[in-house]
Each structure stands twice: as structure tokens, then as C-alpha cells.
Amino acid sequence: MSDIGGWHSYFSSPRTRVGKYEIGKLLGEGTFAKVKLAKNKETGESVAIKVIDKEKILKHKMLEQIKREISTMKLVKHPNIVQLLEVMASKTKIYIVMEYATGGELFDKIVHQGRLKEEQSRKYFQQLIDAVDYCHSRGVYHRDLKPENLLLDAAGNLKISDFGLSALPQQLREDGLLHTTCGTPNYVAPEVIVDKGYHGATVDLWSCGVILFVLMAGYLPFDDPNLLNLYRKIYRAEFSCPSWFSSGARKLLFKLLDPNAKTRYTAAQIYKNDWFRKGYKPAQHTEKLNVTLEDINAVFNDSSEFLVMEKKEMKPASMNAFDLISLSSGLDLSGLFEQPQDEERGETRFTSKKSAKEIVNTIEEAARPLGFNVQIQNHKLKLQGDKQGRKGQLSVSTQVFEVAPSLFMVELSKNNGDTIEYNHFCKNLSKGLKDIVWKAEEADTASGN
């Protein structure tokens, strides 16, 4: 929680529901899509959902690229690749539900930490090569490998993401080569720049070499503000290793950042390299069999089987036990709902077993005769006094929280005005709230305990 002891993090707001997923905060945003955190309401699992605007991708003729990205993610199942969980669509949007990597981007780790130690760099590089080699065995070439597209899970394991520029076997021309110029300039291989066709595998391995350099150095091997100068350096492989690189790492880098694609190290050669093999543990995974892409086409064809509706759900903000404890003094919850809760700060709380709507209506009916204007928005009320007090007009905000099914907590807090006048107002207001206020001891008496 970002606001322990305060209430900003608990305020209710419209919650979007797509199928079985409740959509949460924005994780990232691109030209054609937004990535949002979501929760599977059936399992409680957190996922990342890429929300793509259909109209935008059709307008910019990006349909085939999006289809390719989804198809690629479905083809590859590996511990070091972000997993595609499912694909859905509404009339206006496409939803790609993916595994959520809680550790963020590897790029951010480099930015905050600077260069990484050689052992840590090697671990990430081993996981990267495992995942890339697996993709190549499936005929999939990423073509935009860089630290920004490498995520980390909760255990610190690397996960390749963003297959938006990936190539599949059917994109090969008659010469068996790829010809589309793509990728990020600093990470792109010399043969892509020359534009005479290239092998997807050798291009990806060049990018892996650049990534290894960045991990260990904290900066790029090829960099220049002038794009032509940058391409010249890449084409000639003009780079030098910092003094702290070990001889083993240097030798491997010169084999990976070889401008001649025919003599550049292959994955098979990397696996035999002594520096690479140190502490290497192969990834354990099961092969994904009988993969079909029929559902991908169905999603884009508005098939009713995959069609979902976006629903806006309004309900009081919920609180868990930790939230309650954070509001109490120590771990004793016995006085949590006493009224008034904090006379000095101008806060009052009570509990109720009535419905949220009934609570809001009762507060409104009790406040108006006391000379207060009432504004209602969802499960929040703003009570504004119509008279000038010692410190201006008294203003009180009210919020309803769902503590448990059929149990609500109501908090009143002074926004403006005099505290003494606020406490006097609460005493008068409480007379009109007797029917909705609930106390645990009353329930015990009623049950005969």
C-alpha cells in the first residue's frame, strides 16, 4: 500500500471487467496498445493484458503484424519467455492476456545499478541464449532483442517479451533469407543495414552479443548521435572492451560481434564455450505439441466464442486485514470502530450491516436537516455546510468501505472548518444514523451470548 494510515489508496473507483479479468493500473503504453495489470477473479492470479485498439491497427495496416505477434507467442513455450495465456476481443479491442513479470525490465536494473557483475551478467546471458535458441528451433526469430524487451520475474529470472517484430518461417523469401529492415539501431546486425538479406538466427545472436556487452559494461558497444556514423561502426564492428572484462568474456564477445555473419558464433558454438558453460543450468521445459492458430483468426473475425464485453463495475472499496491493522494502534482492533475515532484530526468511523446504498441514503437524509448540502458520487459523499463557522464553512467527506461481505465501515473526515464544530455536527448527525450503526456487542446480546 502506498498510503498506510491514510485513505487515498482505498477510494472506490469504476473497475473495468473483461471476461474473468478485473483491469487494474497501466503498466506501459505504446502507439497502438496499452499494457495493464489485471487480476483473474477466478484464480486470483495477476496477469498483464495488452489492450489493442482495432480501429488504430486497421488504419495503420498493422493487422498482420499483430496477428504475427500473437501467433509467435502461442508457438513458443519456454521458462524464459513471457507466456501467452489467452486472447480475447470485444467489438473495438483485442486483449492479449500474458504472464505478468513482476521484476520489471532488465533495462531498468542496468539504469539503476549501472553495470552488473560478470557472474550475474552470465546468468542472464545463459537464460537469454536458452530462450533464443528455443525460438530458432521453432522457426521464430525475434529481430528486436534489447534490454527493454527482457523482463524479470519475481525470482529474478529473465523473460523475453515483445515479439512484435518477430519473423516466422513463411516470411522467408525464395533465397531462404529475411529482407525486412527492422530492430533498434544500436542492437542491429551489420547484414541488416546492408539490406542484402539475412538469416534471422545470426541477427538475433549479434543482438545477444550487444546485450551481454551492455550488461557487463553499463553502456553500448556501438553508439553515435549520427546514424550514419553509428552504422559505420556497426558494419566494421568498431568497439573495445573495458579493462574489467575477463579474457573469456572478451573472446566470446568478439566471436558474437563478428561483422561476418558466416563466421559469427552459432548457438551450438556458444553452448561449447568455456566462459558460457561456467555454472550453466539448462532450462527445464516441456515441448508444446499440436499448436493451432485457428483461435487467433477467430478473434480477429469477431467470432462469438472469443467475444467479450467490457463492464464497468461500481462497488465500495474493499479492505483486508492488513489495511485494518494499519489503521489501529498496534494490533488491537477492539477500538477501531468507536465514535468519535479521532477528535483532534476530525475523523469518525462506524460500522453497518446495511447495504452501501442504504447507508449513503440515510447519511444524506440525516445531514440535510442540519443545514448541509450533499453531493453523492458512487459510495462517497461530500457534505458542505451552508453557514460560515469560526474557520469558514464546515466541509465533511464520507466514504463507505466494504470490510467483509455484508459488513461496511463508514468514515467521516473533516476537510475544512473548525474541529469543535465538526464534533458537534457528528453528535447531531449520529441521532439520525441509529438505525444503520452496528456494534459487535449488540450482535452478541441479540444472539444470547
**Cβ contact 411:326 at 8 Å:** no
**Of the candidates 236, 180, 171, 245, which has an alpha carbon nearest to the alpha carbon of residue 212?**
245
**Of the candidates 103, 102, 178, 94, which has an alpha carbon nearest to the alpha carbon of residue 144?**
178
Could you confirm whether 144 is annotated as catalytic? yes
Indicate the pairing of strand 93-99 with strand 150-152. unpaired
Give me Rg for the CA atoms of the chain.
30
| Catalytic one of 130, 144, 162, 204 | 144
3-class secondary structure per residue, 379-409: CEEEEEEEEEEECEEEEEEEEEEEEECCEEE
Instruction: Establish whether 50 is an annotated binding residue.
Output: yes
Question: Which residues does 306 contact at the CB level (< 8 Å), separation at least 6?
Answer: 87, 88, 89, 295, 298, 299
H helix or E strand, kind and range, residue 311: strand 310-313
- H helix count then E strand count, the chain: 15, 15
Question: Which residues does 234 contact at the CB level (< 8 Å), separation at least 6?
Answer: 188, 189, 190, 193, 222, 259
Known binding residues for ATP are: 50
Positions at the binding site: 50
Active-site amino acid positions: 144
